[in-house]
């Protein structure tokens, strides 16, 4: 399994919510330091798949999961594995910016605090994370301001900074721009492309232009199955499957 | 013609209803203030009653009600909040949880006199606490519990799942996410519920009737194991049971006014806390 070209993978995954099967026999590999986009029409299971990687379904009692999820050689659903440790290695940015009801500084500091990062190191890490997320210049003079007063785009970059600060290996992004205006979206997309130098990124998106702009690889899902995957360029230029072709041309979605 | 009239009619009906509610509120306040203001004085709120309640002040009733409300808060808030957190954050959505929740809602509808009798049986006699400030505080605490649980749970339910997930995603345990993010976010709603419940408890008479309130004591109430005076009971006695009802009427109005002010101050505190929290968000 210790393939250098696979950072994160799922094998033979089936997932049910109650009696409804949402993921059907999913097997997929994500390469390190690449951006992979998960695309597909609403309800195809792409967000569900994404959230399975950092075990966000743990708290939904009606979710039932089969199959294997691996981060390098670590089985993510191994008995006795600390979920909090795992989530430190696999960070997540959500669809709607969800800063904590605390100051800008505390929003990043909180993650460092509960992960026992020494107090003396925190200010440096926080500044660095804000710089990496291209929001430092905008907020450096008002770090004590409540994060909820930032604009939507700034909030989302703060949420990315919060994730980046913990130095995860993988960052999962669940439609991070769906609630943002075009300008903020552009900023976040630039940020994503820059972040792949240090992180492996999996992004769920509804926006096919976005997938083409940011993703090295693209995975197309339909009704809980992976229909096609490949290099983004190839997939959009020469889709092999008819469903993919119809979707990327915008015939349904 | 109908299209034009209907909105006017709807608007008018709502306006009149609102006006009617406000009208009664104003009448009650006016009645209390006009008849009670004359008895209000520093002496009235700072001295003991004298000459069989026909003169002097109501200090013991004020301290009694304030202390009683504090005990109620100390008893009901920790248990109520913990219970609400368990029900909303941890408990699985199954028949048992639904049964517990339904029972709590039913408890909120139990008449307060029943709580009084229950307090008499459990605290005063069963646990041998006697008729005392503590027994009455515990009884009022029981009465307040369901309200605090319901309002806290409502406040927690309004916090979106994404807020909880934000904390989990940076490596917080479920408990840390609740302690550090969910509860602080829900705090304004929780405090509103708590204070409204307490101001209701402060005005209750029936639950303390058998459990510790006294018509007259000659020191400022303040001992957990002794009987105490309380504003609502004092008011009840002055307006219905006193041998010289006409003579003490101004005092009764004065007492009512003081009770209203105590409750108003409590609400003001809640308002202030909410304001402070909303500024930090």
Q: What is the pLDDT of residue B14?
A: 92
Strand partners, B29: none
Least confident of A23-27, B13-17, B247-251: B247-251
**Average pLDDT of chain A, as a whole number:** 89
Taking CB atoms and an 8 Å cutoff, what residues of chain B touch A91?
A: 169-170
Residue A1 has pLDDT above 50, yes or no: no
- Is-contact A192 A214, C-beta < 8 A? yes
Q: Cβ A110–B180 below 8 Å, yes or no?
A: yes
Average pLDDT over residues A39-49: 89
> How many Å is the Cα radius of gyration of chain B?
23
Domains in chain B, CATH or no CATH each = 63-230 (1.10.3720.10)
Mutation for B interface: A18, A52, A59, most B CBs within 10 A:
A59
Q: Cβ A87–B169 below 8 Å, yes or no?
A: yes
- Measured CA to CA, the distance from residue B195 to residue B218 in angstroms comes to 30
- For the segment B12-43, what is each residue's pLDDT rounded down to a tens digit? 899 999 999 999 999 989 988 888 788 777 77
A147 to chain B: nearest residue by CA? B281
More confident residue, A202 or B235: A202
DSSP state of A21: E
pLDDT bracket for residue B1 (50, 70, 90) = low
Taking CB atoms and an 8 Å cutoff, what residues of chain B touch A98?
A: 160, 162-163, 165-166
- For the segment A198-244, what is each residue's pLDDT rounded down to a tens digit? 999 999 998 888 999 999 999 999 999 999 999 998 888 888 888 88
Q: What is the pLDDT of residue A3?
A: 55
Q: Does domain A8-248 have CATH number 3.40.50.970?
A: no
- Is-contact A171 A163, C-beta < 8 A? yes
Of A85, A102, A110, which is closest to B170 when you measure between CB atoms?
A110
pLDDT bracket for residue B273 (50, 70, 90) = confident
Mutation for B interface: A114, A150, A160, A162, most B CBs within 10 A:
A114
Nearest in space to A155 (alpha carbons), one of A91, A101, A90: A101
- Is-contact A211 A232, C-beta < 8 A? yes
First-residue to last-residue Cα distance in chain A: 35
b/e map B166-195, b = 16+ CB within 10 Å:
bbbbbbbebebbbebbbbbbbbbbbbbbbb
Average pLDDT over residues B104-131: 88
Residue B168, chain A, CB below 8 Å: the answer is yes
Nearest in space to A199 (alpha carbons), one of A162, A171, A174: A171
CB atoms within 10 A of CB B49: 23
- Is-contact B170 A114, C-beta < 8 A? yes
More confident residue, A226 or A249: A226
Q: What is the pLDDT of residue A2?
A: 47
């Amino acid at each position: 399994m210790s393939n250098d070209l696979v950072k994160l993978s799922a094998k033979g995954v089936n997932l049910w919510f109650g009696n409804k099967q949402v993921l059907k026999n999913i097997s997929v590999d994500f390469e390190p330091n690449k951006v992979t986009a998960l695309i597909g029409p609403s309800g195809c299971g792409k967000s569900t798949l994404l959230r399975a990687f950092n075990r966000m379904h743990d708290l939904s009692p009606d979710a039932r999961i089969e199959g294997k999820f691996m981060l390098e050689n670590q089985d993510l659903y191994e008995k006795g594995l600390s979920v909090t440790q795992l989530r430190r290695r696999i960070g997540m940015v959500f669809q709607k910016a969800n800063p904590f009801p605390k100051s800008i500084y505390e929003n990043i500091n909180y993650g460092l605090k509960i992960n026992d990062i020494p107090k003396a190191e925190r200010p440096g890490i926080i500044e660095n994370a804000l710089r990496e997320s291209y929001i430092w210049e905008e907020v450096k003079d008002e770090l004590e301001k409540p994060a909820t007063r930032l604009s939507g785009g700034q909030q989302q970059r703060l949420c990315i900074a919060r994730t980046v600060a913990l130095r995860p290996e993988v960052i999962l992004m669940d439609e991070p721009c769906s609630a943002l205006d075009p300008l903020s979206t552009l900023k976040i997309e630039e940020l994503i492309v820059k972040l792949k130098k240090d992180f492996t990124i999996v992004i769920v998106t509804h926006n096919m232009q976005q997938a083409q702009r940011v993703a090295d690889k693209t995975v197309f899902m339909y009704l809980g199955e992976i229909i096609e995957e490949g290099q983004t360029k190839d997939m959009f230029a020469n889709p092999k499957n008819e469903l993919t072709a119809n979707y990327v041309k915008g015939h349904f979605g | 013609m109908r299209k034009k009239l209907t909105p006017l009619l709807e608007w008018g009906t709502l306006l009149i209803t609102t006006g009617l509610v406000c009208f009664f509120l104003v009448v009650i306040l006016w009645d209390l203030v006009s008849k009670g203001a004359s008895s209000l004085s520093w002496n009235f709120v700072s001295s003991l009653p004298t000459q069989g309640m026909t003169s002097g002040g109501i200090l013991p009733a004020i301290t009694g009600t304030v202390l009683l409300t504090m005990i109620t808060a100390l008893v009901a808030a920790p248990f109520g909040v913990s219970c609400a957190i368990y029900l909303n954050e941890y408990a699985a959505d199954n028949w048992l949880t639904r049964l517990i929740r339904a029972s709590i809602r039913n408890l909120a509808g139990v008449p307060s006199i029943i709580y009084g009798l229950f307090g008499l049986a459990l605290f005063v006699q069963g646990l041998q606490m006697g008729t005392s400030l503590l027994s009455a505080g515990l009884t009022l605490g029981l009465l307040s519990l369901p309200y605090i649980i319901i309002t806290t749970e409502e406040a927690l339910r309004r916090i979106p799942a994404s807020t909880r997930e934000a904390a989990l995603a940076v490596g917080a345990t479920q408990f840390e996410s609740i302690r550090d993010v969910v509860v602080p976010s829900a705090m304004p709603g929780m405090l509103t519920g708590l204070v409204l419940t307490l101001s209701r408890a402060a005005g209750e008479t029936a639950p303390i009737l058998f459990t510790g309130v006294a018509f007259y004591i000659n020191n400022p109430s303040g001992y957990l194991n002794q009987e105490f005076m309380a504003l609502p009971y004092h008011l009840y006695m002055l307006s219905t049971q006193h041998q010289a009802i006409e003579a003490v009427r101004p005092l009764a109005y004065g007492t009512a006014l003081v009770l209203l002010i105590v409750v108003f101050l409590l609400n003001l505190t809640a308002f202030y806390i909410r304001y402070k929290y909303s500024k930090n968000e």
